[in-house]
Amino acid sequence: MFWNRQQKPAIHLIGVGGSGMSGIAELLLASEFPVSGSDLTRSTITDRLESLGAKIYYDHHASHIQQPSCVVVSSAVQVSNPEWQEAVRRSIPVIQRAEMLAELMRLKKGIAVAGSHGKTTTTSLLGQVLHSLDPTVVVGGRLQHWNASSLVGKGSTFIIEADESDRSFLKFSPVYSIVTNIDLEHLDNYRDLNDIKDCFVSFLNRTAFFGENWICADCENLQSIRPRLNKPTKTFGYAEDADIRITRVEWERTKSLFCLERKTGEDLGSFEIPVPGRHNILNATGAISLALSLGIGLTSLRRSLKNFVQADRRLQTHYRSERFAVVEDYAHHPTEIRAAMEGVSQMFPGFRKIVIFQPHRYTRTKALWDEFVGALGGLSDELYLLPIYAAHEAAIEGVSSDRLAADIGTRANLWGALPQASVFASECSVRQEPVVAVVLGAAPLTSFAKSLAFELESLASRSAVISKV
């Protein structure tokens, strides 16, 4: 339990269907807080919350603010929201999602995982390797093996994915922190790379003096801020001078094997994770490094890592056969696209890579234009671009998917909207070589990926029947 008051205060969450907000709702429900929430769309997430006892409204109206002691909002909710306005009118406290998480984390030993890329995977890996501590874990994506974005444990450890996008991670005061990397990102909230670095310095210096920071030794941006850190800090990665160093790597289609050693020369042995990609080895090494600091044994670590299951939309394979495959990934930044495509190449050698991508936010697309052109044009055999997903942003003149396609060149095709999955599956099936369709982006493309997987599987089944006749 997080609270020992006789009567726990009721809490209302606006935008409760989002992955981050739903995780908090589950956490509060498991701790026996009365929870209500609102969202515009019914989903499997909101259905689950209702089954756990939450009262969910499927619109936004002032009348939904009944008797809560607190209202929680995500960064996507505008102050003009009628429920927010009603809470202000009635002098009910309105706090950000991160502030609620910070309040809950204060009652336990907090571990925060931050970074421009790899936060969700590293947080879920950490939850896996620290399972013997029975931790509470809150991540920004749905984890398949939990069927939720949070796990409520009875132990004293509280692990969170700390989001830097709106600077809200500065509300946390963890005992331990991991930072995977720093990249040019979220320029709707940051002036430039130096502003981002300054914010990460502030975050890492919020770690307890008796705790520890673990940062990636291979990230130049992270290493450039290290002299400004005033809390105990160690490093992990491929770099020769890392405190825990990756020494040897082997890849198979759906798993990665690697060896680690300490800076002192101590051999930590070999590890295996059932996910591909150099970036995932780094994510796993960050989790291992902190787990070792917490006293977790090597045998336990190896066993936990072998059983790891990725979060949804992280190199998620919806279908695979000898002829066809469909993979979905949340990648929406050039660095993430490169990492995802490296993983796809490892998983499906010899397959023709057909990429479907929807750029996310005008500000990101403009700021990283050349990087998008290089990543999308250089790593796919065919590319299909959808119109930019605005995510509440106003359009920027000259920033569009058709111009992006023109700069990429002949392999780029422009879609005004998603085609019927059955039609696109038929087009894929006429390719001579095996085909992997890679659906990328932060925008909601999961239903298309699943439909495409179904149609390709149906085509494969029909072909098998015909070949037997």
State what percent of residues in the chain have pLDDT above 90.
72
Does residue 6 form part of some domain? no
**CA dihedral over 275, 134, 109, 211, signed as positive or negative:** negative
Which CATH number do you get for residue 341?
3.90.190.20
Q: What is the pLDDT of residues 23-47, one digit of tens each?
A: 899 889 988 899 999 999 898 889 9
Give the H/E segment covering residue 121: helix 119-129
Decide if 184 is inside a domain.
Answer: yes
pLDDT of 20: 80
* Residues annotated as catalytic (active site), given as ranges: 119-120, 161
Cα–Cα distance, 229 to 363 (Å, whole number): 30
- Residue 463 pLDDT: 61
Are residues 90 and 237 located together in one domain of the fold?
no
Backbone phi, then psi, for 277, in 5-degree steps? 105, 135
Closest-CA residue to 324 (of 240, 187, 448, 438): 438
Q: Which two tokens stand for residue 219?
A: 């990230």
Q: In 228-255, which positions are buried (b, 16+ CB within 10 angstroms) versus exposed (e)? A: ebeeebbbbbbeeebbbbbeeeebeeeb
Measured CA to CA, the distance from residue 323 to residue 436 in angstroms comes to: 8
What gap in Å lies between CA 259 and CA 285, rounded to an integer? Answer: 10
Question: Quick check: is 200 in a domain?
Answer: yes
Name the amino acid, one letter, at 369: W
Spatial distance between the Cα atoms of 104 and 25, rounded to a whole number of angstroms: 12
Q: How far apart are CA 111 and CA 123, in angstroms?
A: 9
The Cβ of residue 463 has, within 10 Å, a number of other Cβ atoms equal to 12
Domains held by the chain: number: 3
CATH number at residue 21: 3.40.50.720
Q: Which residues pair with 110 in a beta bridge?
A: 158
Using the 3D structure, point to which of 241, 272, 306 is the last residue of a domain. 306
Regarding whether 288 and 321 lie in a shared domain, the answer is no
Domain containing residue 19: 11-96
Do both 440 and 420 map to the same domain? yes
Average pLDDT rounded to a whole number, residues 406-411: 89
DSSP secondary structure letter of residue 420? P
Q: Is 80 exceeded by the pLDDT of residue 141?
A: no
Query: Of 58, 74, 96, which residue is a domain's last?
Result: 96
pLDDT for position 469: 43
- C-alpha to C-alpha distances, 382 to 111, 141, 187, 316, 357, nearest whole angstrom: 41, 28, 29, 20, 11
- Whether 205 and 229 share a structural domain: yes
- Whether residue 311 is contained in a domain is answered as no
The SS3 assignment for 115 reads coil
Read off the pLDDT band of 76 (50, 70, 90): confident
Instruction: Check whether 213 has a pLDDT greater than 90.
Output: yes
Confidence of residue 431 (pLDDT cuts 50, 70, 90): confident
Look at residues 356, 312, 397 and name the one whose alpha carbon lies nearest to residue 124: 312
Q: What is the mean pLDDT of the chain?
A: 91
pTM of the model: 0.89
User: Which class for 17: exposed (0-12), middle (13-18), buried (19 or more C-beta within 10 A)?
Assistant: buried
Do residues 260 and 238 share a domain?
yes
Query: Which domain-ending residue is among 34, 66, 96?
Result: 96
C-beta atoms surrounding 60 within 10 Å: 16
Return the closest-CA partner of residue 181 out of 207, 200, 167, 168: 200
For 318-344, the pLDDT digits (tens) are: 999 988 999 999 999 999 999 999 999
